[in-house]
Structure 1
Amino acid sequence: MNARLTQLIPVLFVWIWSTGFINAKYAIPNIEPFYFLTLRFLFTIIAFLFLIWLMKKRWPMRIDIAYQMLIGALIHGAYLGGVFFAIDHGVPAGISSIFVGLHPALTAFLGWVLLKQRLRLIQIIGLVLGFLGISLVIYSPGGTSGGKLAIFGIISCIIALVGISYGGILQKQLAEKVPLVSGTLCQYAGGVIVVLPLSLALETHEVNVNFEMVAALVWSVFALSIGAVLLLMYMIREGEVSKVASYFYLVPPATVLQAYFLFDEQLGLTALFGCTLAVIGVYLITARKRPKRPCSHDTR
């Protein structure tokens, strides 16, 4: 593949991922969140079944299928379910992206607690800045166009953040050698197990079928659930896996810009400052340590 095109892949990945929050904003007025996600996951499973048949990919072992479903329940069920529920309860798309955009920071913290990975001083500073930034966004007066955030929206964002962070930890621990295509299908099956019961228990399943709703569903299946995953697979195959986490710190500003132009979602100065702190914090956590230069010895 052309080198210049290869360099554009991370940018394309970040942009597609950031549209997920915008996609939710378009879908929510026309369909309930968990019902939308149930349909999205089921259509995605069908699409991945076709890909597996077309590409003749192998299936994971039974124990790996169980692990993948657990990871999917966290990454797709808890994460996407939390984001969609938060937006349905009035949390602006930009703010929800800032919340869950801290997941590399929480992943680093969980890695320190659960995997005994050492944190450098600059990463600890990043954790503090990220926490302060999110606190400013939440508590800033007039920080968002919607005023104060509903408590259910905040809790949903926290659930989404924990889901994608802990799911990422489990992926590193349990699923490094699982086939990506069939493993991803199992993850979406785990997501269905989370959102389908919530939809049956809490929602009416009334749908306002219009262009925005259909477009949001099509985009979420093919661009987000399939396209973004395939880009992620390509980056991993090309040796970009160590950099993938750092790309996520670009998602919140990308979402905030899109939400501003599409929905006129605005941040006050305090909230904007908090957003900046959060992005800087995540960058410090995900920044790679520079290798020490070897000392040169005079051999004369």
Structure 2
Amino acid sequence: MRKSLLGHLAPVLLVVLWSSGFVGATFAAPVAPATTTLLWRYVVAAPLMLVAVLALRRRYRPRYLRREAVLGALGQAGYLYGVFRAVEAGLPAGTAALLASLQPALVAVVLSGFGRKGGRRQAVGLAVGFAGVALAVGPDAVAGTGTEGALWALAGMLSLSAAAVLGDLWPAPEEEHDVLDSLAMQGVVALAFFAVVALASGQAAPPADPSFWLAIAWLVGLAFLGGYGMYLYVQRTRGPVAVSTWLYLTPAVSAAWAWAMFGERLPLLTVVGFAISLAGVLVVRPAPDRERTSRDRPLADARS
């Protein structure tokens, strides 16, 4: 019963918690560079995860560590660095969300080349979802967009897409591991990446402002443990196209976070766009049991 309830609630939790990352970034932006924020997010998160897996006496083989290192470098370090650098370069949040929304279609197209056929229903759902995002972020999203920021956002989107595809195509080791293991191993990889970047740029020292640590607590508890944890869980149970498609809803939900917490305007177009994106997501999404069955078959073939 507990697993069934989590399976039904996980996509909703994914959207809400993934969107919370934009709130944490908003908290930290006035007092610290993006690189400093990302470094200290993992300075706090990675040791917590390591303590947890050590307390549980988890053991990992080199094959598993190699797989999680690659997925962590792409899905956490590469994605976050691209998004934060895009915002630093002046890319509007709506434009970043619009570019990120290319991910589900890209993942679906790439996987179709490996025998994961989605059919007309999936194509229609992806198109409807993207249209909803375009409406939610508004017609002014692309106004004044700089090339540098757009390229960083696209790089982050491509990095997360690569992680989603590889996570599906790269067979996991035979031994049983769960989301906690992935969070711990990938968090260590992200920590190493951002430590190198922050030290090289002279941005490793945290600011004295107490609001910075509030932002770090938010980013660790909600965005990392909650948002990325739910991302990994939904990807495991429903597949890479499904988890990517649910992210169509995050721009509008992020706007709702900003409206509730910072008093920012919540346009009617954003609400309408959310409803259209939700319709597209509901068209694409498979049932958890059916998705697991369809994914296990090609993975089993890959092992043989």
| Class of the TM-score when normalised by the shorter of the 2 chains | 0.7 to 0.9
How many percent of aligned residue pairs carry the same amino acid? 22
Q: Which has the larger radius of gyration?
A: 1
Deviation at 1:226, TM superposition (A): 2.1
Q: Say what the alpha-carbon RMSD is for the aligned residues.
A: 3.7
The residue that corresponds to 2:182 in the other structure is 183
TM-score, scaled to structure 2: 0.75
Superimposed CA distance per residue, residues 68-106 of structure 1 (whole angstroms, 9 cap, x where no aligned partner): 111111100111111222222333445434432443332
- Is the 1:35–1:205 contact (alpha carbons within 8 Å) kept by the matching residues of 2? yes
1:298 paired residue number: none
The 5 A counterparts of 1:44-123 are 44-59=45-60, 61-113=61-113, 115-123=114-122
Do the aligned partners of 2:137 and 2:251 also contact (CA within 8 Å) in 1?
no
Q: Which runs of no fewer than 5 residues in structure 1 stay unpaired?
A: 292-300
Using the size of structure 1 for normalisation, the TM-score is 0.75
CA distance in 2, matches of 1:283, 1:109: 19
Say if 1:260 and 1:214 are closer, same or farther in 2 by CA, change over 3 A.
same
Structure 1 distance, partners of 2:275, 2:106, is: 17
How far does residue 130 in structure 1 lie from its aligned partner after superposition? 5.8
Distance 1:211-1:101 versus aligned 2 partners, 3 A rule:
farther
Per-residue CA deviation, residues 257-300 of structure 1 (Å, 9 max, x unaligned), is 2234426266696x888777666555544466xx9xxxxxxxxx
Distance, in Å, in 1 between the alignment partners of 2:210 and 2:28 is 10
Counterpart for residue 160 of structure 1: 156
Alpha-carbon shift at residue 185 of structure 1 (Å): 1.9
Report deviation, 1:121. Answer: 1.9
Q: Which runs of 5+ in 2 are unaligned?
A: 291-304
Deviations 1:27-85 (A, max 9, x none): 122111122212212321100111112222222x1122122111111100111111222
Structure 1 pair 57/265, CA: closer, same or farther in 2 (3 Å)? Answer: farther
Give the number of equivalent residue pairs.
Answer: 282
- State the partner residue of 2:195: 196
Secondary structure of the equivalent of 1:118?
coil
Alpha carbons of structure 1 residues 265 and 151: separation in structure 2 relative to 1, 3 Å? farther
The 1:215–1:37 alpha-carbon spacing in structure 2 relative to 1, beyond 3 Å, is same
- Tell me if the contact between 1:105 and 1:285 (Cα under 8 Å) persists in the aligned partners: no
Residues 190 and 204 (structure 1), Cα distance of their counterparts in 2 relative to 1, 3 Å cut: closer
User: Structure 2 CA distance, aligned partners of 1:245 and 1:143?
Assistant: 21
Deviation per residue, 1:189-222 (Å, 9 max, x gap): 3223433333234454464332321111012122
